[in-house]
């Protein structure tokens, strides 16, 4: 799957493009089943730290961040050398009040590049009713807007960071996705999502890709997976690859890597909620 010229120019001007088909329905059903079997084995849900940098924990997610159907469109947007900084599970159970406030990821990831792209893949239907992502077109081109830490318990973001002013809800664009489709957005773009009012879980996994000249400017040591081309920057420790789910060497590495990322996400915050 290649993005058309029109999709590339839409990404440049508006900051997003969707839907991009990635997985066949049998493939997405199999990945969802693997994730849900893992959740069931440990009482029904992922721990906060298992939500992030999870490509180190699950062999199938390590394969997904290297899948050409994900990377070919990403390469069209950020070039042939690609690092994956993070992956995050975004799961809203049926009947939960979980939501994601309007925010820009540049405010708390500590990454120097303007050119980080998030690929958000639906592992279950992400309809408007299910609380799919919504975006504010063009906001990736302006300054980062002021955010406030709200620490709202239902907000899935670590600090409940929320754009105070500058979001005109009437201009919001929803990005509904069928299971197996992904959206792509620039991490400077203002985005968020409402609660899941559907009768199925809303399960997504975001994959965050960056060019190797990116630096971590808030934390010290940080990690990334080299998923395509060469690491010409050398600013991140390259991660090992799990040979199977919960490969002990990678689980140990994940513990250190997610602790370092956690410190970046909470830098300067009034408190640590323990969320990712």
Ligand X SMILES: O=C(O)CCC(=O)C(=O)O
Kindly tell me which residue out of 100, 111, 167, 177 binds ligand X, with binding defined by CB under 6 A: 100
The tokens describing 65, both together, are: 């961040």
Kindly tell me which residue out of 81, 105, 149, 247 binds ligand X, with binding defined by CB under 6 A: 105
Determine, following the binding rule CB under 6 A, whether residue 109 of this chain makes contact with ligand X: no
Residues 6+ apart with CB under 8 A from 15: 135, 137, 138, 139, 140, 141, 185, 186, 188, 189
Q: Are 33 and 196 in contact (CB under 8 A)?
A: no
Determine, following the binding rule CB under 6 A, whether residue 102 of this chain makes contact with ligand X: no
Mark 177-196 with x for binding to ligand X (rule: CB under 6 A) and - for no binding.
--------------x-x---
Complex with ligand X: residue 89 or 253, whichever CB lies closer? 89
Q: Are 262 and 53 in contact (CB under 8 A)?
A: no
Determine, following the binding rule CB under 6 A, whether residue 133 of this chain makes contact with ligand X: yes
Complex with ligand X: residue 11 or 90, whichever CB lies closer? 90
Mark 19-58 with x for binding to ligand X (rule: CB under 6 A) and - for no binding.
----------------------------------------
Complex with ligand X: residue 191 or 201, whichever CB lies closer? 191
Q: Alpha helix (H) ranges present in the chain? A: 5-14, 25-41, 48-51, 59-64, 68-78, 106-109, 248-265
Determine, following the binding rule CB under 6 A, whether residue 90 of this chain makes contact with ligand X: yes
Q: Are 16 and 185 in contact (CB under 8 A)?
A: yes
- Alpha carbon distance 59, 65 (integer Å): 10
We find the least distance from the C-beta atom of residue 7 to ligand X, in angstroms, to be 19
SS3 of residue 32 by DSSP: helix
The tokens describing 109, both together, are: 């990831």
Complex with ligand X: residue 120 or 253, whichever CB lies closer? 120
Query: How many helices and strands in the chain, by DSSP H and E?
Result: 7, 13
Q: Which residues make up the interface to ligand X (CB under 6 A)? A: 90, 100, 105, 118, 120, 133, 191, 193, 204, 206
């Amino acid at each position: 799957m290649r993005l058309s010229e029109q999709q590339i120019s839409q990404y440049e001007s508006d900051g997003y493009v969707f839907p991009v088909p990635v997985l066949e329905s049998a493939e997405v059903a199999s990945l969802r089943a693997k994730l849900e079997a893992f959740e069931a084995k440990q009482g029904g849900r992922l721990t906060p730290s298992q939500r992030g940098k999870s490509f180190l924990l699950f062999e199938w997610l390590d394969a997904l961040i290297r899948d050409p159907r994900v990377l070919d469109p990403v390469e069209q947007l950020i070039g042939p050398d690609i690092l994956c900084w993070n992956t995050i599970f975004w799961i809203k159970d049926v009947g939960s009040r979980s939501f994601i406030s309007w925010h820009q990821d540049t405010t708390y990831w500590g990454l120097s590049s303007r050119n980080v792209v998030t690929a958000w893949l639906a592992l279950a239907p992400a309809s408007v009713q299910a609380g799919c992502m919504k975006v504010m077109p063009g906001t990736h081109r302006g300054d980062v807007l002021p955010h406030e830490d709200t620490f709202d318990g239902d907000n899935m973001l670590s600090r409940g960071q929320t754009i105070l002013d500058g979001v005109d809800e009437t201009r919001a664009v929803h990005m509904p996705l069928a299971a197996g489709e992904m959206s792509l957005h620039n991490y400077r773009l203002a985005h968020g999502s409402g609660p899941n009012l559907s009768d199925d879980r809303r399960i997504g996994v975001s994959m965050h890709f960056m060019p190797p000249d990116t630096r971590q400017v808030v934390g010290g040591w940080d990690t990334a997976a080299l998923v395509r081309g060469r690491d010409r920057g050398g600013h991140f420790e390259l991660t090992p690859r799990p040979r199977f789910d919960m490969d002990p060497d990678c689980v140990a590495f994940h513990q250190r890597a997610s602790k370092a990322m956690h410190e970046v996400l909470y830098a300067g915050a009034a408190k640590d909620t323990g969320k990712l």
